[in-house]
Structure 1
Amino acid sequence: MTARRRLQDAPIIDAARGETPSRMPVWFMRQAGRSLPEYRTIREGISMLDSCFRPDLLSEITLQPVRRHNVDAAILFSDIVVPLKAAGIGVDIVPGRGPVMESPVRTKEDIVSLAQLDSEVIEISEGITRILQELRSDQALIGFAGAPFTLASYLVEGGPSKNHERTKALMHAEPELWHQLMERLVPSICAFLWTQIDAGVDAVQLFDSWAGFLSERDYREFVLPYSRQIFDELRSSNIPRIHFGVGTSEILGAMSEAGAEVMGVDWRVPLDQAARRITEASGPKVLQGNLDPAILQAGTQVMRQEIARICEEARRAQAEHTACGHIFNLGHGVLPNTAPEAITEAVEIIHSEGVFH
């Protein structure tokens, strides 16, 4: 295990721990990627998954937006299906479509024989070592993994799905099989996150892309126990844990019960409303979010107005004792056609908002 570096005045980690940061902390989901010309250049002719397993590439891509935008954290360049690939499961990321499985997982035999990740992913560890060598002591590195439900959906559907019908059908028609699949996935996700933690990341985010397609009842029965297992497993790391999903307004309370200190909120619900839902279920948490990514294309005046509104909602939540911190982020990832200059400007505006108090 790498000796954890000593952060000094790192706004994101201070905020995540419920302390007062020196400035409004900000990072953006998908800040590394297609919005940057330097990313498109370095990725030319190299597949997405190959770039995730090359320490030189994953470190350079992770660092590009930190250098350009002066965000307060790097997010490890990776993909939700990387732990599956690392375990030896046949998966490819098809341009314009997304992750596609070589063989969908739909029967008991498929589940029992599903490969598991049970060791360090050396390429990821080496990439993290390179990243940490360049980051300033006030800039955090956030690790990342997909949550069990999202991975299960890709496996069952065979790829991206608009309705997740095969996933929901398995869940309800064969619940025992569903639970076996989720139990099979949890150790792989934990192993992947421990690779990152042992290599020195400063926080981790569990990303449940598709959880918003579920009712609260189904989420609680079929998903929550497994996300909770992961957060319980990571508790001993003593680093902040973040939980985020898309379209999850109706299940924010249930998601907060999984155990993360920081709850990501998408743009569909105001932060102060989200805070009340979270607090009612599990007590006050640190909030992360939640600017609509499209606002980065709306010009300086609109960005200023929306950023100010979101910061005020977060301040209101803390004044009401329904939140204990705020990390600024988007309500999902940076859109590919976003001008890099707009992202840099947004960061400057956010930092000028001062501290959350």
Structure 2
Amino acid sequence: MFPELKNDRFLRALLKQPVDTTPVWMMRQAGRYLPEYRASRATAGDFLSLCKNDAFACEVTLQPLKRYELDAAILFSDILTIPDAMGLGLYFETGEGPKFKHTIRNKADVDALPITTANDLDYVMKAVTTIRHALNGDVPLIGFSGSPWTLATYMIEGGSSKDFRHIKAMMYQSPETLHALLSKLAKSVTAYLNGQILAGAQALQIFDTWGGILSGPMYQQFSLLYMKEIMDGLITEHEGKKIPVIVFTKNGGQWLENMASIGADALGLDWTTDIGEARARVGDKVALQGNIDPCVLYAGKEVIEREVENVLSGYGHGSGHVFNLGHGIHQYVNPDHPKYLIDAVHKLGEKYHDPKFDDLDSLNGL
């Protein structure tokens, strides 16, 4: 069906298999910091038109790969596709981010929501297949979704929030209502991600962007529990290959042991967590992804290279590390600067891996 994969360094690292150097990709690597992305968005008319047209989604997914020697592509889409498919009316206002025409505030609202299937988001599945073919096996394709908790924050607040007062009020005053919503979302996310696997995604990431706003007990009950439900329902192997899954909870470094227990292959780290300490705590169970401060990319080449070395040395020798930013790349970054980071990771990363790395295609089904 698809061309043979030529660079599987990213997949190997997620499975803690030997690699020749540390692989790297960047969250939001296709985005507004690239002039070619801004041109594509202007041609499409708006952000949602980019997401819902497979030709545009493919075009912008490939843009950073034409500039940089990245080790993975990530599907160009949005985490709020599922709430949109549920009928909440997603739209974007300039300078204000995503908004919904309809919000979820009570049990009746939750009861009225459908559980979505992959067929309800066929434009995403079409984009995945289109991108996978266009990649021609150069690098793997990452599919993704928001976590149930993160999706629920937008659905209940009606958009972005600073205090999350509506969802937290529901969490404490009507927890059964919130659990009912999260249950529907977990089922929808599971079907959505499985659909992406069948369409061609070779790895997955669950973005739990707002899990870190919770207290420890609430994180367990309202975020982690539902990500575990998703993990339990995912296709684990497709086309004879293991499908690795990354779970990323921003500001979740205090819960790494709990996160490592749900069955994910890797944990994403933001820049507030020391990667060496994280490896000591959970590195025998999962791979780690991250975690340079995205603002480092505002600096020049020497500073970027220094900070790359700090992260690489912090993780230390051996596989199981995928280099990434601690969150998405910022809009105003000079598009020349990511190349400094990516080249530095590949060059400086070599010394942290076995120089005798050879053909390992027979390992673990890869």
Which deviates further from its counterpart, 44-53 or 222-231?
A: 44-53
Q: Deviation digits for residues 69-104 of structure 1, max 9, x if unmatched?
A: 121111111111012223433221222112212121
Q: Distance in 1 between matches of 2:52 and 2:73?
A: 17
Mind listing any 5+ residue stretches in structure 2 that lack a counterpart? 354-366
Match of 1:250 in 2: 254
Question: Is the partner of 1:117 in helix, strand or coil?
Answer: coil
Question: Is the partner of 2:118 in helix, strand or coil?
Answer: coil
| Amino acid across the alignment from 2:13 | A
Q: Deviation digits for residues 35-58 of structure 1, max 9, x if unmatched?
A: 100000010162212211100110
Q: Distance in 2 between matches of 1:354 and 1:250?
A: 27
**TM-score normalised according to structure 1 size:** 0.92
Match of 1:312 in 2: 313
Match of 2:27 in 1: 29
Match of 2:245 in 1: 241
State the number of aligned residues.
346
1:336 is aligned to 2:331: yes
Question: Does the CA contact (< 8 Å) of 1:9 and 1:22 recur in 2?
Answer: no
Which deviates further from its counterpart, 178-187 or 134-143?
A: 134-143
CA 1:276–1:261: 2 relative to 1, 3 Å: same
Question: Is the partner of 1:353 in helix, strand or coil?
Answer: helix
Q: Distance in 1 between matches of 2:248 and 2:236?
A: 21
Q: Pick from 14, 27, 50: which aligns with 1:16?
A: 14
Question: Does the CA contact (< 8 Å) of 2:23 and 2:322 recur in 1?
Answer: yes
Match of 1:100 in 2: 99
Match of 1:263 in 2: 267
Question: Does the CA contact (< 8 Å) of 1:208 and 1:244 recur in 2?
Answer: yes
Q: Deviation digits for residues 133-154 of structure 1, max 9, x if unmatched?
A: 2325341110010000000111
Question: Is the partner of 1:96 in helix, strand or coil?
Answer: coil
| Amino acid across the alignment from 2:275 | L
1:228 is aligned to 2:223: no
Identity %: 37
Which deviates further from its counterpart, 289-298 or 267-276?
A: 267-276
Deviation at 1:10, TM superposition (A): 1.2
Q: Deviation digits for residues 169-194 of structure 1, max 9, x if unmatched?
A: 11111111111111111121122212
Deviation at 1:268, TM superposition (A): 0.6
Match of 2:361 in 1: none
CA 1:93–1:253: 2 relative to 1, 3 Å: farther
Q: Distance in 1 between matches of 2:67 and 2:229?
A: 37
Q: Distance in 2 between matches of 1:284 and 1:315?
A: 16
Q: Deviation digits for residues 325-354 of structure 1, max 9, x if unmatched?
A: 100000001000011110112111111023
CA 1:39–1:210: 2 relative to 1, 3 Å: same
Q: Distance in 2 between matches of 1:89 and 1:333?
A: 25
After superposition, where does 1:273-288 map in structure 2 within 5 Å? 273-278=277-282, 283-288=284-289
Question: Does the CA contact (< 8 Å) of 2:53 and 2:123 recur in 1?
Answer: yes
Match of 2:184 in 1: 184
Q: Distance in 1 between matches of 2:171 and 2:215?
A: 13
Q: Distance in 1 between matches of 2:96 and 2:282?
A: 33
Question: Does the CA contact (< 8 Å) of 1:209 and 1:246 recur in 2?
Answer: yes
Q: Deviation digits for residues 209-247 of structure 1, max 9, x if unmatched?
A: 100101111111222111001111114333000011222
Which deviates further from its counterpart, 37-46 or 129-138?
A: 129-138
Deviation at 1:207, TM superposition (A): 0.2
1:291 is aligned to 2:292: yes
Q: Deviation digits for residues 301-337 of structure 1, max 9, x if unmatched?
A: 1111110010011116x6xxxxx61000000010000
**TM-score normalised according to structure 2 size:** 0.90
Question: Does the CA contact (< 8 Å) of 2:32 and 2:331 recur in 1?
Answer: yes
| Amino acid across the alignment from 2:256 | L
Question: Does the CA contact (< 8 Å) of 2:88 and 2:103 recur in 1?
Answer: no
1:88 is aligned to 2:63: no
Question: Does the CA contact (< 8 Å) of 1:104 and 1:155 recur in 2?
Answer: yes
Q: Distance in 1 between matches of 2:173 and 2:259?
A: 24
Q: Distance in 2 between matches of 1:148 and 1:294?
A: 28
Question: Does the CA contact (< 8 Å) of 1:148 and 1:185 recur in 2?
Answer: yes
Q: Pairwise CA RMSD of aligned residues?
A: 1.7
Q: Distance in 1 between matches of 2:123 and 2:105?
A: 30
Question: Does the CA contact (< 8 Å) of 2:194 and 2:235 recur in 1?
Answer: no
Deviation at 1:105, TM superposition (A): 0.5
Q: Distance in 2 between matches of 1:290 and 1:152?
A: 26
1:351 is aligned to 2:346: yes
Match of 2:59 in 1: 60
Q: Distance in 2 between matches of 1:15 and 1:249?
A: 20
